[in-house]
Amino acid sequence: MKCVITSLLLLLLGFSCSDENNTNKDNTNSSSDFSSYIDSKNLRIFAKSGVSESFLNNVGTSYELMFSDGENIDPMMRSHYLTTTKDKYAYQRVGVFSEDDPNFDPGTPPKPYDHNVTDYIWELEDEPEEQLGEVVEHLLHTVTTVILYLAYPDEWDYNNSSSALYLAMQEAVEKGIYDISDYSDLKNDKDAYNKILTQEYAYWLILAEWNYFITARKKMDGISGNEEFIIGTPNEISSKLPLGHKLYKNYVEKIISIPDSQIMLNLFPSSR
């Protein structure tokens, strides 16, 4: 299914670039393209028709879990992140995945929501065992490619070969840890190529720092990571990818927390 979702991601890129303590639901049809939405930590999450209410709520809860208190959190940096999310109208989209819908329309949210979005979170009716990983992956894409990019544009600029993000990504590529060969057909579109390479890198980096490869069902037999990103533990990141580890420590760890894996598995029990 990876190739299908990658193709849908390319389609989505062509169209795009709360209450602080609660997840609220509003069933009002605020846009003909989206049937409902919830707000979670200043992130508006729009749902396409067909998305179940329970799934939408569980996506909002998953995001909220990333904002649990923790000893490494920098209150000022977290506040800046949350304020940026609200002021820049960052948002997330949720839909029901179908391999048989070549004419899928990503939809247009109501104003003032516009370009500050990346891809979809899919409700996977046919592959529920992959659901937890699907939610975590695409929430982290929004965290890194959208909100951190907006909050720290110099350090998280995917098109700047001198940015902290780009240099960390190159470190992983040059050391043979991050295999980017599957994305070679995107090279003719520099913006899309750089965006996807860094987006996927940041996701794998955080997943490893969280020691979440097993929880998200992304680990291959025989290695701690997988065929795309071969290491999957915090110790391996700190010892083999110092630039990546620094990026995580200086930004990610100070803003978001590791969501409790048991709670996440309770939200998406088919992923056990």
Which pTM does this prediction carry? 0.90
The answer to whether the CB of 172 falls within 8 A of the CB of 109 is no
Query: What are 45-82's pLDDT values in tens digits?
Result: 999 999 999 999 999 999 999 999 999 999 999 999 99
**Residue 47 DSSP symbol:** E
Per-residue pLDDT band for 29 (boundaries 50, 70, 90) equals very low
Pairing mode, if any, of strands 91-96 and 36-40? unpaired
Q: Where are the domains of the chain?
A: 2-271
Output 87 or 21, whichever has higher pLDDT.
87
- Name the residue type at position 88: K
* Region for residue 156 given its phi and psi (left: phi exceeds 0; alpha: psi -120 to 50; beta: otherwise): alpha
Q: Is 262 exposed, middle or buried (0-12, 13-18, 19+ CB in 10 A)?
A: exposed
Summarised one tens digit per residue, pLDDT across range 121-141 is: 999 988 999 999 999 999 999
| 3-state SS, residue 175 | coil
Average pLDDT, the chain: 90
User: What is the total residue count of the chain?
Assistant: 272
pLDDT of residue 28: 43
Q: Looking at residue 16, what is its pLDDT?
A: 44
12 — pLDDT class (breaks 50, 70, 90): low
**Which carries the bigger pLDDT value, residue 105 or residue 5?**
105
Q: For residue 96, what is the enclosing H or E element?
A: strand 91-96
Contact of 144 with 156, CB cutoff 8 Å: yes
pLDDT at 100: 61
Q: Is the distance from CB of 186 to CB of 192 less than 8 angstroms? A: yes
